[in-house]
Every structure is written in structure tokens, then in C-alpha cells.
A = this chain, B = another copy of it.
Amino acid sequence: MNIAKKVPHKIILPEDKIPQQWYNLRADMTTKPAPMLNPATGEPATVADISPVFCEALAKQELDDTTPYFDIPDEVRDFLAIYRPSPLVRAYELEKALGTPAKIYFKYEGNNTSGSHKLNSAAAQVYYAKQQGLTSLTTETGAGQWGTALSMASAHFGIDLEVYMVKVSYEQKPFRKAVMQTFGAGITASPSDTTSVGRTILAERPGTGGSLGCAISEAVEKAMGTENCRYVLGSVLNQVLLHQSIIGLEAKAAFELIDEYPDIIVGCTGGGSNLGGLIAPFMRDKIQGKHNPTFIAMEPASCPSMTRGRFAYDFCDTGRITPMAKMYTLGCGFIPAPNHAGGLRYHGMSPIISQLYHDGLLDEARGVVQTDVFEAATLFARCETILPAPESAHAIRGAIDEALRCKETGEAKTILFGLTGTGYFDMNAYQSYHNGTMKDYVPTDEELAAGFASLPQLTTSA
């Protein structure tokens, strides 16, 4: 093996190829995602409707489905330059271990202290908040990557931050809190008694481990009750997918440098920010008939919004105080089992991803159990020297399964997957996998039915 004779292990974009604009996939979608609805009126939400929650520039990005490109502000590009461009990596060792003729590439977003791609949107959201003269922000975090990312961006741009952290993650990941504190953020385990929605949920389910939906409710309530404060969210929203398009734009530019194009693109999905960002420019090619890659979304079998959910209007939060979005959802009352490791525990799915899946442009969604995910994670780590996040390992599982299918058929397909981040704060889960105590969990039809019962009245099922 000699690096001079083949595609290098890492493809890193030169400075002049680094994207200067975000790409808004909605502008090129034939069927646009259904509009967000104001729950009070049942009418499509306007910028004025959502401006009490989001800062203005972000509210505009959220609702704009016609502008294809947005300039990345200089200050945001400066911040991104700290850890970007992220490498596109050829997984030679994994290919060898699998004995596959497939070429496996991954876009690696873990080389920053937040340990994930979440920093891409955190940088943008904090910048716009600061520009608007806000003095503080609230947010929720599940696995902790988003909270860490936002803490980092808030420290950089100089704005206060309060993070509502899903209680089960708060307990499973004691050190995530210390990292966020190092960056100066305040942390509250959710549900908490600091908000009325938190107190209500605690009264109804005293032992709950919480959920992203519930933490969102608390963070929104807190933001709306605090002067010069807004709420920011790390996934699901259109604005987040816009900021995350940098992943796909860089990946596509890197493939151009080596004169390749992926046949299969795999990403993990919780709220959809990584998959949405990764596939955006490749999906444009598919919509415009230039290329026909296969897109695969990997989700946990324990929180199967795409594979077992409904395509319906739902609240984005458990407390039912946000606008409603049309998306694949398990119902805003669904809370995944506490033994589910890591993130990807959101009840819904990005409206953009949901629409693409509904229209067959996103080809397939697959639910996988966590022991299969950690098996893939461990093999990947030993081959490629990166300890993956459990979330990312869902995508690894999908890529490995595709590579093994290529081995059966003899096809030398090019597979791209998104490696969203690192698993340094998930060692409890790795330990339970290694010592055999990790359990898989798949919700029963009855449990799902209970979640669907929480869907709002105007719901039309798919």
C-alpha cells in the first residue's frame, strides 16, 4: 500500500474550493415541504409568527423555499475555518476487512471539540443572534453534541447560553455537562421544575428520562419568557439543514477533485440535519436528472420515525408550544426507551427529509437495533482508527451492509456515508456492548399507537 499510487486516504479541499454559500435544497424541490402551521390559527406560519422564537435572519431562512443559495457571512466562515474543511476519507482498511469490491468513503465531521457536525449550524445561529443584539440563548440537547457545539459558538461570539439536556443523557453522560461548563454554558436536566411545561411533564411521568421534544418545550418557554433571548435548535429545522449543506457541498467538491461520484449515500437520521446536509447537492443532481445516486437513511429501531411513523402534521415539541410541521413522526408524546444509547431520539423528522422520503427521492429508510450498530462501530474503529459516535455508527452499519451486498454481487460501487462525530462521551454504551449487557429495544405496535394518539387533531395520516 503506497499513498502515492492511489486515491489518498484523505481528500481535503484547498482553500479556493471551500464553499462560500449554503445551498437551500427546497429551492429545487418539485414538491416543497408543507408549510409550518401556526397552531393558534391553523394558518401557515409567517416570519412575524416565528420571530418571537427565532431571531429574524433565521426566521427568514426557515421560511424561504425559493432562494437556492445564501452567502455564508464572513464571521461564520472565519469560525468554520477553525475546524473545516472536514476530510473526505477513503476507508481502505474497512474495505479490506470486509473483502468488498466497493469503494467506501466517509465525510468525517468529528474533528472539533463538540465531536460532531452540529457546530456547523451552531456557528451560524449564534452569529445571527449576536448580530440582532440578543444577549442570551436557550436550547435543548440530547446526546450532548448540539449543546457542546452551541456552548463553543456562544463562547466564541460572546453570548450567554442555557442548555436543557435530556435527563437520560445527562445521567448517561456525566462528562458532557463538564465540557459545556468549560465553555461557560448553564445546564439543566430536562424535564425540570424551571418551566411550567417541565413541571407538568414531571407531574405526569415522575420517573421519565425525558426526550428531545420535552427539552425543546422547556427551552422555548424559557426563551419566550426572557428578555433579549431566543431559542435555537440543532436539527429538524429547514435553517439547520441549510447550514449543514456545507457537508454535502464539501463532499461533492472533494469527489470532483478525484473524479468520482457516489452511487450510494448513507446517513444516520435523528432529526435529519446530518443526512439533509450531506445529501443536499447530490439530491439536486438527482432532481435535475444529472446523476441517480441511491439515498439511504439509517435510524434506530427504538425510535423509528421514518420506518414506522406517520407522515402528518405534528408539534415539534412534547409540550405543544411550537409551530406544527408536516413530517414523519411517532407523535409528539412518544418517548424512546431509556436503554436507547446516544442521540437519534427525536419523535419527528426534518420536513425536507420527510417530503423527499414521501416522494421516493430519498430511496430507503432502515431501522437498526443498537447491538448491530455497536458491532459496526467496533469494526470501524479497529480498521479506521476513529472511535465513532453511536449516532454515526448507524450510518456505518448501513454502509457496511451495502458493501457486503456489493461483495455478494461483485459490484464495485462507490459508497459515501456521513461520519457525524466521535464517541468519547458514549463509553458507557461501548462498555455495555463489550460486556454483553447492552439490550436491544423495538417498540411494540401498542407503544407506537400511544404515540400516534398524541398527534394533534388536524392530523391527516399519509
A431 to chain B minimum Cβ distance, whole angstroms, is: 5
State A384–B183 Cα separation when bound (angstroms): 10
Contact (Cβ within 8 A) B422 A113: yes
Across the interface, A386 reaches (CB within 8 A) one of B2, B113, B434, namely B113
Contact with B along A321-354 (1 / 0, CB 8 A): 0000000000000000000000000000000000
Contact (Cβ within 8 A) B387 A179: yes
Binds B, one of A70-78, A99-107, A239-247, A271-279: A70-78
Contact (Cβ within 8 A) B184 A382: yes
Chain B residues whose C-beta falls within 8 Å of the C-beta of A183 in the assembled complex: 381-382
Contact (Cβ within 8 A) B182 A3: no
A178 at interface by CB-CB < 8 Å? yes
State A111–B12 Cα separation when bound (angstroms): 14
Contact with B along A97-126 (1 / 0, CB 8 A): 000000000000001110100000000000
Contact with B along A392-426 (1 / 0, CB 8 A): 00000000000000000000000000000010110
A10 at interface by CB-CB < 8 Å? yes
Across the interface, A2 reaches (CB within 8 A) one of B12, B74, B155, B174, namely B74
A residues with CB within 8 A of B: 1-3, 8-10, 12, 15, 74-75, 77-78, 81-83, 93, 111-113, 115, 152, 155-156, 174-175, 178-179, 181-184, 377-378, 381-387, 422, 424-425, 427-428, 430-431, 434
Instruction: With A8-B81, A113-B422, A156-B383 given, name 20 new contacts (CB 8 A).
Output: A1-B74, A3-B74, A3-B81, A10-B82, A12-B12, A82-B385, A113-B381, A113-B385, A113-B386, A115-B424, A155-B381, A155-B382, A175-B428, A175-B431, A179-B427, A181-B431, A182-B381, A182-B434, A184-B382, A424-B425
Chain A interface SS verdict (over half): helix
State A15–B9 Cα separation when bound (angstroms): 12
Contact (Cβ within 8 A) B430 A75: no
Contact (Cβ within 8 A) B385 A152: yes
The residue on B at minimum CB distance from A123 is: B385
Chain B residues whose C-beta falls within 8 Å of the C-beta of A112 in the assembled complex: 385-386
| Most B Cβ at <10 Å: residue of A1, A385, A427 | A385
Closest 8 CB pairs between A and B? A175-B427, A424-B424, A155-B382, A178-B427, A113-B387, A178-B431, A152-B385, A178-B430
A15 to chain B minimum Cβ distance, whole angstroms, is: 7
The residue on B at minimum CB distance from A152 is: B385
